[in-house]
A and B are shown apart, each in its own frame.
Chain A
Amino acid sequence: MIELYGTKLSSRLLLGTAQYPSPAILADAVKASCASAVTVSLRREMAGGKGGEKFWSLIQSLRLHVLPNTAGCHSVKEAVTTAKMAREVFGTNWIKLEVIGNHDTLQPDVFGLVEAARILCDDGFAVFPYTTDDLVVAERLLEAGCRVLMPWCAPIGSALGPVNITALRSMRGHFPDVPLIVDAGLGRPSHAALVMELGFDAVLLNTAVAKAADPIGMARAFGKAVDAGREAYRSGLLEPRDLAVPSTPTIGRAVFQ
């Protein structure tokens, strides 16, 4: 159980809905993952088009929390307007705030991100900012009114996994009471387990599941990995050591001469 902006979620996995082979596989993958929330977006509708209606009906049938995003927005104005449009269509004040700063890496424009976050928090949004692992930016986002932070662990869709574990550890240590969700860059269930072992509260991922040969199987694997990592964190992990320590008792060992 995790609480985000006053809403309790049963699972610590949030799943994206893009790039699946079919709507049916998307629905089955979401169910297999036991995700508690799904991300969605807004895009241009064709005249007379019904694509949006069909997709929205599918998402509603899943009966999960919906986290709309501002993906593709490169300015504060774009992100703020998209967030307001999303609030109207999806009927939620949750928004995954993305203000992209670089076309190649899709890394966030953290300056625009903080500015947009302040505007949206003041307007009553529950902002989930897609950010870096920079502690100063994190502070600014909290000052702007964010109550959840979503640092990347690698570029979106890269599947690299945590490329800077030291920074993630530092972030966890600096903000012990802030829900931290690793968003973007996870490629394997072991990556998800690793960040959960570090004490992160949840993970958000999309491509690693959607582009797997078997998205449903991979979704299930990520769900298990998130649970395993969380339980391991709560159970107290053994610190690594340089020397061997026998696990079998040495007292009572027979001596043969």
Chain B
Amino acid sequence: MKLTVNGEAHEITAATLAELLAALDYEGNWLATAVNSDLVHATERALFQLKDGDRIEILSPMQGG
């Protein structure tokens, strides 16, 4: 399945958003996720089904003004 994760193309097998995070070694309760520009809550990741072409953003706290 072709996915775009944080702007980079990935060819990866992951049925759900939670599986994708695990496959790419993302972990921690400080992460926020969005798929195709919509928030996916942490509690929904295990059931959130990914499909070919999805665009995923994985964000974390950073310095800001």
Residues of A within 8 A of B (CB): 16-20, 26, 39-45, 47-53, 55-56, 59, 68-69, 71, 77-78, 81, 84-86, 88-90, 156-157, 206-207
Contact = CB atoms under 8 A, between A and B. Distances in A.
Q: How large is the interface on B (under 10, 10 to 19, 20 to 34, 35 or more residues)?
A: 20 to 34
Ranked 9 nearest A-B pairs via Cβ: A52-B60, A41-B64, A16-B65, A206-B65, A85-B32, A45-B60, A48-B25, A43-B62, A18-B63
Interface in B6-45: 6-7, 24-26, 28, 30-34, 37-39, 41-42
Contacts, number: 107
B46 interface: no
Given A44-B59, A47-B25, A48-B26, A84 B39 contact: yes
Interface class of chain A by DSSP: mixed
A101 B28 CA distance: 34
15 contacts: A41-B61, A42-B62, A45-B60, A52-B30, A52-B31, A53-B28, A55-B62, A77-B37, A81-B37, A85-B32, A85-B39, A88-B32, A88-B41, A89-B30, A89-B32
A41 B62 contact: yes
Given A81-B38, A81-B39, A53 B32 contact: no
Contacts of A85: 32-34, 39, 59
Interface in B45-65: 57-65
A18 B65 contact: yes
Contacts of B64: 16-18, 39-41, 68-69, 71
B60 A17 contact: no
Contact of B39 (A52, A88, A156): A88
B37 A207 contact: no
Given A45-B26, A81-B37, A51 B60 contact: yes
Contacts of B63: 16-20, 26, 40-41, 55
